Amino acid sequence: MKISEILAQDKPTISFEVFPPKQASGLETVKAAAGAIAALTPSFMSVTYGAAGSTSKLTVEVASDIKNLHGVSVMPHLTCVASTREHVSDILTQIRENGIDNVMALRGDIPQDGIVCHDYTHASDLVADIRSQAPDICIGGACYPEGHIESPNKNLDIDYLKLKVDAGCDFLTTQMFFDNNIFYNFLYRIKDKGITVPVLPGVMPVTTARQLSRSVALSGTNVPERFRAIVDKFGSDPDAMRRAGIIYASEQIIDLIANGVNHIHVYSMNKPDVAGEILTNLKEILG
């Protein structure tokens, strides 16, 4: 099923994300985790794409399992900065051959060695290319309520986001954030610039102090005092930190739904237990 059709439903939905293994030897473990998350019957699942496309085939393989073995709608990610048009076309063919109706089109991070392939410069180039090759596919794009880390300012970032949406995005998913007010403010600002596609907030349950420092270093996400205090207090106690992180993410989701945001994407990081506990916390809220 296309994610645009899922988002057209007037009821709250929760989707989960998994990432592929770095090597084929880890495939069965990831497939087992993805299967356990699929058994929770989320509205859809997404599968990330390894940096520089290193694990592109594994992304499609895990995504195919989620859809064709477990019956859950799926969205593989696809990055372009280090890819040729031929490679993108090949992956897109694999996605279609597996009966998958969705793809998340991304630029990807610039590789540390700085080596890029010049077939695509921005995600908007990839969106346009996918749209021309597969007019019917549902395309998601990334957005950044706090501004993309390379962007000189948030207004310019939103101007470029508008170009990406106009190239053919059906919906957007945000980078994680820990302060919902930043997301609400972002929604006003993009609406003002004429971006009207659905925007899924991306919520990350942080279950270890290390996960927080790594994610924040990569994304530049602001950590509010309230969450910082939780990590300071419980970061050295794994069970307490895990519980506090799940409760914090659940509270973020409850606040989003209470404020009329119906569709939420959870960065569940191959952790079926964490995904399951979040759903348990939301049981009566999701109905």
- Give the binding site for ligand FAD (CB under 6 A): 48-49, 51, 77, 79, 106-109, 122-124, 142, 148, 150-151, 157, 160, 163-164, 173, 175, 202
Provide DSSP, 72-101: --EEEEEE-TT--HHHHHHHHHHHHHTT--
Residue 236, helix vs strand vs coil: coil
Q: Rounded CA gap, 122 and 164, in Å?
A: 9
**Which residue number, 145 or 272, has a Cβ lying nearer to ligand FAD?**
145
Scan for tokens 């053919």, then name that residue.
168
**Which residue number, 244 or 266, has a Cβ lying nearer to ligand FAD?**
266
CB of 80 to ligand FAD, least distance (A): 8
**Which residue number, 148 or 242, has a Cβ lying nearer to ligand FAD?**
148
Handedness of CA 109, 111, 116, 119 (dihedral sign): negative
**Which residue number, 121 or 259, has a Cβ lying nearer to ligand FAD?**
121
Tokens of 122: 């921005």
**Which residue number, 57 or 122, has a Cβ lying nearer to ligand FAD?**
122
The phi, psi pair for 143, rounded to 5°, reads -145, 165
CB of 243 to ligand FAD, least distance (A): 26
CB of 77 to ligand FAD, least distance (A): 3
Where helices occur in the chain by DSSP H, the ranges are: 3-7, 27-38, 56-68, 85-97, 123-133, 154-168, 180-192, 209-219, 225-234, 238-258, 272-286
Q: Rounded CA gap, 258 and 155, in Å?
A: 28
CB of 122 to ligand FAD, least distance (A): 4
DSSP 46: E
Q: Rounded CA gap, 166 and 213, in Å?
A: 35
CB of 148 to ligand FAD, least distance (A): 4
Active site residues: 17
